[in-house]
Amino acid sequence: MGETKSPASFRFAGFTLDLSRAALLDGSGGEIALRPKSFDVLRHMVANSGRLVTREELLAAVWPGLFVADDSVTGCIAEIRRALQDDGRLLRTLPKRGYLLEAKVIQEQAAPEQAKASEEIPPLGRQAPGEAPAHPLPPVDRPSLVVLPFANLSGDPEQEYFADGMTEELTTALSRVRWFFVIARNSAFTYKGRPVDVRQIGRELGVGYALEGTVRKAGGRVRITVQLIETETGHHVWAERFEDTLEDIFALQDRVAEAVAGAVEPSLQAAEIGRSATKPTENLDAYDLYLRGLSRAYRMMREDSDAALSLFCQAIALDPNFALAKANSVAYRVVRKTQGWSGPDEWEEGAAWARELLGLDQDDPSVLRLAALAIAHLGHDYAAGVRAAERALRRNSGSAQVLLSCAWVYVYACQPEVAIPLFERAMRLSPHDPEIAFMLSGIAMAYLVAGDFEAALHWADRSVQRAPNWASGHRILVGALVLSGREAEAQEAAATMQSITSQERSLEDVIPPLRDKEIRVRYIAALRSAGVPG
């Protein structure tokens, strides 16, 4: 029997899905913009045309081993429909069942010269003198990655400098994020121009992740694509595309480097969570316990919340000097307090640990941002929180998570004019962040403190839609409705909140500890007038 060949492209409904170029083409051959994950969803749907595909199947196929929000699939489906100009009849949604692509699909094989070229790629392990190390390096004790030389797709050899410069900028930017290890530029460039599999690179450099990219310049514009790959399995963890004018090449490099640095951090963290979850509990060390705690923390359910805090504390018991685990433990107590799931003993311990962390000679922005959040919220020490937030921002203002925590500190300190730009920047850097609900409710609260109730309504509604179990978003929505004179809608929103969330503490306990007591009193009164208990 002959070997089955994988298709190079699919033709359906007047479109072509070109797998070799990872592009969706219209009838004239023009490329239709589509984000990488949306492309992967469409590819799976086309390959399974005429068959019901469940949401769970799409999650397993496109985000293997990762915990992602349910609306990730919904967002990709919506983008695909826009690209196909489909009104829902081509790519159908079957409520509570999944999705169905109703189209005749024609598979096309690669041209002979393409097949021959792929056969000429040298086998893994073949090296020339002066190239990458011949023997695999041992893995480091923290998440690690290499930024591979970006490919120049401009067709102009003179533009190689731009692609190389982008690689250097990203290597420098990512190396500032202290919680993971980045291979130096010189080692990465030994792979320039070589068709080497990322799994081989992972073995040779001892890294868990590879960041690949391409640069295309034409007509005064540049398009840059980046993708993060887990080297052990070859799975894609994160990808994004940037496009802009070329008015200032170096300024554009800086912007993309900052955006990628901010987006890669939570993506790496999510991938590490997925990897640790597959390990047997009895063999986990402190770092694995910490990651397992993170994986439970994002689920916003009481049972998971209790488990997350327990896992953080177990990690700290194994290594009392594990500052990042202790910082996550104290900051997560803020979440639990906001949800009404904890009491004074837990808050006091969290505030004490936050003071301990801030008393250390500690310059890790990830620790600083969490300790700042906890000392302001649990300890009501706004000045200490702001000082720690300023230190964290000086160390890494390109991290969406640093921006998020520091923005909340400024909300507590009643400085919405500082908080709002930080929230906006965090959402630009990481629009699919696992903590997106905290960003949305945070900017809503900042606008409420500022007295802009319409803006608060807009962002609170988005928070509720993205994370219906996050009580803070519901409360801000109710409060903003009351304060804008929409009492009937506020009562409906309050009833909805009570049907979804549970609150075991009084409003005095769960409402953010705002420095301006008058704003806080007015907010609590608004909630009570709408029927929120407590």
Which range of residues forms the domain containing residue 484? 435-534
Whole-angstrom distance, CA of residue 258 vs CA of residue 278: 32
Q: Is residue 286 part of a domain?
A: no
Check whether residue 152 and residue 265 sit in a common domain. yes
Q: Which residues neighbour 290 within 8 Å (Cβ) at sequence distance 6 or greater?
A: 311, 312, 315, 322, 324, 325, 328
- Give per-residue burial for 413-447: e unless 16+ CB within 10 Å, then b: bbbbebbbebbebbbebbebbbbbbbbbbbbbbbb
Check whether residue 198 and residue 266 sit in a common domain. yes
Check whether residue 140 and residue 102 sit in a common domain. no
Check whether residue 259 and residue 154 sit in a common domain. yes
- Compute mean pLDDT per 10 residues along the chain, 534 residues long, and list them: 61 88 82 82 92 88 65 80 85 86 83 40 30 43 80 78 78 70 78 81 85 84 86 83 74 70 68 58 63 78 89 90 90 92 92 92 85 96 95 85 94 95 84 81 96 93 89 95 94 90 84 94 95 87
Task: Give the CATH number, domain containing residue 37.
Answer: 1.10.10.10
Task: Quote the longest CA-to-CA distance of the chain.
Answer: 80
pLDDT the model gives residue 69: 54
Task: Give the CATH number, domain containing residue 493.
Answer: 1.25.40.10
User: Model's pTM, two decimal places?
Assistant: 0.61
Q: Is residue 27 part of a domain?
A: yes
Check whether residue 181 and residue 247 sit in a common domain. yes
State which of 108, 126, 144 marks the end of a domain: 108
pLDDT the model gives residue 369: 94
Check whether residue 191 and residue 100 sit in a common domain. no
Whole-angstrom distance, CA of residue 340 vs CA of residue 503: 5
Integer CA distances (angstroms), 278 to 17, 309, 463, in order: 34, 20, 31
Whole-angstrom distance, CA of residue 182 vs CA of residue 228: 13
Domain count, the chain: 3
Check whether residue 40 and residue 80 sit in a common domain. yes
pLDDT the model gives residue 1: 41
Q: Is residue 310 part of a domain?
A: no
Task: Give the CATH number, domain containing residue 242.
Answer: 3.40.50.10610
Whole-angstrom distance, CA of residue 270 vs CA of residue 197: 23
Integer CA distances (angstroms), 337 to 1, 305, 437, 443, 504, in order: 64, 11, 16, 19, 10
Check whether residue 69 and residue 162 sit in a common domain. no
pLDDT the model gives residue 130: 34
pLDDT the model gives residue 171: 81
